[in-house]
Amino acid sequence: MLPKKYNRNIKLKFLLFYEKNKIKKLNYKKFLKKYKVHDVIKFPRNEFKYLNGRKLFFTHFNIHKTVHKIGKKYLIVKIYKKGYFTKKKYEHPILDGKKFILTKCLNSKNNIEYEKLKKEDFKFSIKTIKNVSVLKKKILLRYKLSMGNLTTKEKLNLGVAITKLKILKTIKPSYLVS
């Protein structure tokens, strides 16, 4: 495995949203405060469609580690256009401002080796991710651009993080303000 200290988290100052054929730049801290959340979970657009307000729970898989904290609230937001980062540059993803899913973190675990995942870890995952083999493919696809500076083997050696979330409600903002 790569070092547990591997840092893929960037201190954000703003978020970019696509709305009404324009890209809006919103202050990150003001956005979190407006929605009373700890952070934003940026979710791939091809997987976002499998999240719906009818499910009560959702298990989210991340590469390596997560910063999600038990008891804190998070907004799941669809990625409109992927961003990326290398050791020297961070390109913000452009997020879709049409629909957010408000969640609350019930549990989170970091640095789990794929081989140690159990069937129950996939119970509340999206319907396209129900085993380790598929999870590895999805993780590699999800981080292909954003962690392009790492090889496939290095990405898989980082392990996986699991966050169990309770879905509270769907939010359809009428407009985004900065």
Give yes or no for a contact between 22 and 100, defined as CB atoms under 8 angstroms apart: no
Determine the distance from the C-alpha atom of residue 19 to the mean position of all C-alpha atoms in its chain, rounded to a whole number.
Answer: 20
Mean pLDDT of each 10-residue bin along the chain, 178 residues long? 52 86 92 93 87 81 90 94 75 89 95 94 91 93 78 90 94 70
pLDDT of residue 2: 46
CA distance linking residue 136 with residue 153, whole number of Å: 11
pLDDT of residue 49: 85
pTM summary value = 0.85
Give yes or no for a contact between 70 and 107, defined as CB atoms under 8 angstroms apart: yes
Q: Is 97 exposed, middle or buried (0-12, 13-18, 19+ CB in 10 A)?
A: buried
